[in-house]
Amino acid sequence: MRSQTVTHSPDAAFRAIADPTRRALLDLLRTEGSLAAGHTAQSFAISRPAVSKHLRILRDAGLIRERREGRHRFYEVDAQPLAAVDKWLESYRVFWKRKLTGLKTFVEREHAREAKSRKRD
């Protein structure tokens, strides 16, 4: 097998995971490990050519690796390109953490105020 250095666009990872079938394929490969293309296709209620197309898109985005053994193709997850997605999501994690911390503070203040009000009555 020849050695190749391929640089994948971060946008390719975003486009690839935009489709629910491709996310399901990634989940299957993540949990099951290396799987033959035929076994992968049996796990979905879509045609084998449709699964092959999704696998090709994931491979082209660098999210899975393909290994050939004779006539069989095996696929496994390569999560490295998801680092760009994770980096993009980090700002939203910070945003929601601040929002949830603010909500928690508000609810605790309201609860304390209501408890104080009940004690007076």
- Residue bearing tokens 């007076």: 120
The full set of domain ranges for the chain reads 10-77, 82-121
First to last CA, the chain: 81
Domain 10-77 has CATH 1.10.10.10: yes
Give the span between the Cα atoms of 104 and 102, in whole angstroms: 5
- Residue bearing tokens 């004690």: 119
pTM: 0.73
Tokens of 111: 């609860």
Give the span between the Cα atoms of 29 and 36, in whole angstroms: 10
Tens place of pLDDT per residue across the chain (121 aa):
444 545 567 789 999 999 999 999 999 999 999 999 989 989 999 999 999 999 999 999 999 999 999 999 999 999 999 998 899 899 999 999 999 999 999 999 999 998 888 887 6
